Every structure is written in structure tokens, then in C-alpha cells.
Amino acid sequence: MNNPPMNDETERIKHLEMQLAHLQRQYDVLNDVVTEQSMLLDRVNKRISKWEQEVDRIKNVTDSESHPLDEKPPHY
């Protein structure tokens, strides 16, 4: 970024105020991105948790439905 001529204190203050405004805008944009990503991550984690519960439920159902004749004898 080119620095404007700093002839007097007023110009210097204006320049610093512009930089501050720019940084505040960048901060707001980044904060919005972080907030959005956090909400997305929460939704993904909830979905994964539901899928894990469903997989466990399916495992339990299929394990309990196994027929004794399908099992290997203990000496195998």
C-alpha cells in the first residue's frame, strides 16, 4: 500500500483512520467466515453422530439375528 505524503499531522491521522477502518472491515469479514465455519462444523458433527448411532443400531440388529448354525464351533 502506498503511503500518502505525511505533510502534517492531519494527513497522518486521516491515513491511520483509513487503515483502521480497513482492518475493522477485514476483521468483520473474517469473523463472519469463522462463525459460518463453526456452524457448519457443528452440523457435520451432528450428522456423523447420527450415522454412528445408526451403524451401531444396524450392527446390533444383524448380530442378534445370526443363526446359531452359522456360527463356527469353539474349536475353530
More confident residue, 43 or 67: 43
Residues 29, 3: Cα–Cα separation, whole Å: 24
Confidence (pTM): 0.58
5-55 per-position pLDDT tens digit:
558 999 999 999 999 999 999 999 999 999 999 999 999 999 999 999 999
| C-alpha separations of 64 from 39, 60, 68 in Å | 38, 6, 10
- C-alpha dihedral sign at 44, 47, 49, 52: negative
The identity of residue 43, as a single letter, is R
- pLDDT for the residue 75: 73
Residue 69 has pLDDT above 80, yes or no: no
- pLDDT band per the 50, 70, 90 thresholds, residue 62: confident
